[in-house]
Structure 1
Amino acid sequence: MQSPERRQAIIVLDFGSQYSRLITRRVRECHVYSELVPATTTLAQLQQNPHLDIKGFILSGGPSSVYDEQAPSCDPAILQSGLPILGICYGMQLLAQQLGGHVAYASGKREYGPATIEVLASTAKDEQNFRIFEGIAISPAQTEHLDLPRSETPLRLSAWMSHGDSIDRLPPGFVLLARTESTTVAAMASPQGLVGLQFHPEVTHTPQGKAIIRNFLFRICGCEPGWTASSAIE
């Protein structure tokens, strides 16, 4: 149960995405408090707030490439905090680059629009890494436009993509979770609760996006759904 003096919180680091505020809103819709802060905010600064029990971080998308001269980054202490982190689009690429993976630079070519995400089959050994997709099912109405043979069993999701660069080598300790026809790494995760999604779960164009966010909040961060706008401490 949450303390009345402290509230569980998911901190969203803003890397300039047009959807950053929407991420915060989606988390709050799940009755978990979320706060949007500049990407330059340090872990020490966040820990100075006695009212926040930080349960995890979300790194938003953004218009930059990790190879830009002024590419935004985040406090290394956040990546080393041991808390769960969800990187979305640019946030995923930054996570990969900072933790020893490799991001392939896109020379003018971008993937923008709806895409079909194929979630790879998990095994008992790496089931923990697939918690972000746990319990997600697709209704027949969602699969009609995919024209899949009835014998096909992999989980396929419709999702919204908006990126140029892409990951072509996973960081050490990460597992590939999903891919698309044109994106080798559409989702990745580590046993430590670090997750990257190349697509945007926060937008309505990703029908299962809210379920994915809920999995991050409740299955990975261990949040309790108890926050409401009326309970906010101003």
Structure 2
Amino acid sequence: MAETQRPVLVVDFGAQYAQLIARRVRESSVYSEVIPHTATVDEIAEKQPLAVILSGGPSSVYAEGAPQLDARLFDLDIPVFGICYGFQAMAQALGGTVAHTGTREYGRTDLDIDGGLLHGGLPTRQPVWMSHGDAVTDAPEGFEVTGTSAGAPVAAFENRARKLAGVQYHPEVLHSPHGQQVLSRFLHELAGIPATWTPANIAESLITSVREQIGDGHAICGLSGGVDSAVAAALVQRAIGDRLTCVFVDHGLLRAGEREQVQQDFVAATGAKLVTVDAVDKFLGELKGVTDPEEKRKTIGREFIRSFEDAVSEVVVEQSGGTKPEVEFLVQGTLYPDVVESGG
């Protein structure tokens, strides 16, 4: 597995900020993925993560049915960072004490700092964003307590030898002004992860991966004019050159000038081979008299597939001099939010 593809895993314990934590990791130029707390230790190990971050969550560690943390995670010799509920679950699994202190902290809170790698050099008293009822009262053996607050006797700890650390507050939100620094220090200084997940490195990694996957084959890309398909097409074109054919269907429902922009600007920027299908009359004819939005959506989808298939048929015949070659690959650009919403 390539180094740039090994993720930092964010274990979601039901936090509203789990995706935000993953975003903050990426802003530190490190690749991240969110996984559910039900993932087993074996499943985590299989992903070969560079580090694991345990998110917050609404539960008490003592509540019946609360998400559990398998202590075997710490036998994997992987850097781990706990946040809020994840911090408490981590402390409990490692032999520390989590208690109902009777003091709840919600919202802006002052954190008192006492050294440590993650907080060293930062203001000794700093505002952070808290959201907890239980609190860690005793750190696990071998851990240095580096932060306290009025409601959390142990608000931050770390064990540099084992590359383990955690905080009671939420470093991922802007209400914790030094939170991104703390998270970045965990990733780069404690876990030793290089800041290599940059746009240039991502592109080169994807191009290499596509080149290896496609080999000497051919590919077809349905180009919509949007960012997702345009970026996917540009990357694949850099990988396999003129063995990629992009098909753009003009269905008459485009923004003004979009067809010309795709034909001129996209081709000029990428050098990709482009086939444009003029299907305006067909689409508008099929949509004439249709008023139900869902029926419109289905009609557009159906006709787009038909137009694309017709175009692909003509393209492969032209490529083969009269006989169809095997076009083994279909290129599709999909935005990350679409993957999340579809459960992928």
TM-score, length-normalised on structure 2? 0.55
2:112 is matched with 118
Aligned with 2:44 (options 32, 43, 46): 46
Q: Kindly state the Cα deviation for residue 4 of structure 1 after the two structures are TM-superposed.
A: 4.6
How far 1:158 sits from its partner (Å)?
Answer: 1.0
Aligned length: 203
CA contact (8 A) 1:8 1:223 kept: no
List aligned pairs for 1:217-232, cutoff 5 A. Answer: 217-228=187-198, 230-231=202-203
Match of 1:150 in 2: none
Q: Which secondary structure state, in structure 2, belongs to the residue aligned with residue 41 of structure 1?
A: coil
Q: CA distance change for structure 1 residues 83 and 117 in 2, over 3 Å: closer, same or farther?
A: same
User: Per the alignment, do residues 28 and 203 of structure 1 end up closer, same or farther by CA in structure 2, a change over 3 Å counting?
Assistant: same
Structure 2: distance between partners of 1:86 and 1:10: 11
Give the C-alpha shift of residue 171 in structure 1.
1.1
Hey, what does 2:176 align to over in structure 1? 206
Report if aligned partners of 1:61, 1:89 keep a CA contact under 8 Å in 2.
Answer: yes
Specify the SS of the correspondent of 1:176: strand
Q: 1:113 is aligned with what amino acid?
A: G
Q: Could you list the per-position Cα deviations for residues 87-144 of structure 1 after superposition, in whole angstroms to 9, with x for gaps in the alignment?
A: 001001101111111111256x521011111111x4xxxxxxx1111443x5xxxxxx
Look up the SS of the partner of 1:184 in the other structure: strand
**Separation in structure 2 between the aligned mates of residue 212 and residue 57 of structure 1, nearest angstrom:** 15
Structure 1 partner of 2:67: 72
CA 172–103 in structure 1, closer or farther in 2 if over 3 Å, else same: same
Identity of matched residues, %: 40
Select the residue among 26, 31, 36 that pairs with 2:29: 31
The two structures, once aligned, show a CA RMSD in angstroms of 2.1
TM-score between both structures, scaled by the size of structure 1: 0.80
Distance across 2 between alignment mates of 1:5 and 1:115: 38
Kindly report which structure 2 residues correspond to 1:11-22, keeping only aligned pairs within 5 A, or say none: 11-22=9-20
Q: Is residue 134–residue 215 contact of structure 1 (8 Å, CA) maintained in 2?
A: no
Instruction: Work out whether 1:102 is the aligned partner of 2:81.
Output: no
Alpha-carbon offset, residue 63 of structure 1: 0.4
**Contact in 1 for aligned 2:4/2:197 (Cα 8 Å):** no
Letter in 2 for 1:170: A
Higher helix proportion? 2
Which consecutive unaligned segments of at least 5 residues does structure 1 have?
123-129, 139-154
Using a 3 Å threshold, how does the CA distance of structure 1 residues 47 and 176 change in structure 2: closer, same or farther? closer
Match of 1:146 in 2: none
Q: Which has the larger radius of gyration?
A: 2
- AA paired with 2:150? E
Aligned: 1:83 with 2:81? no
Aligned-pair CA distance for 1:43: 3.1
Which residues of structure 2 form unaligned runs of 5+? 207-333, 335-344
**For residue 178 of structure 1, what is the aligned residue in structure 2?**
147
SS at match of 1:58: strand
Q: Equivalents in 1 of 2:12, 2:118: separation in Å?
A: 21
Is the CA contact (8 Å cut-off) linking 1:42 and 1:77 kept in structure 2?
A: no
CA distance in 1 between counterparts of 2:120 and 2:167 reads 15
Residue 87 of structure 1 aligns to a residue whose secondary structure is: strand
Among 128, 134, 158, which residue is 1:165 paired with? 134
Amino acid at match of 2:164: L
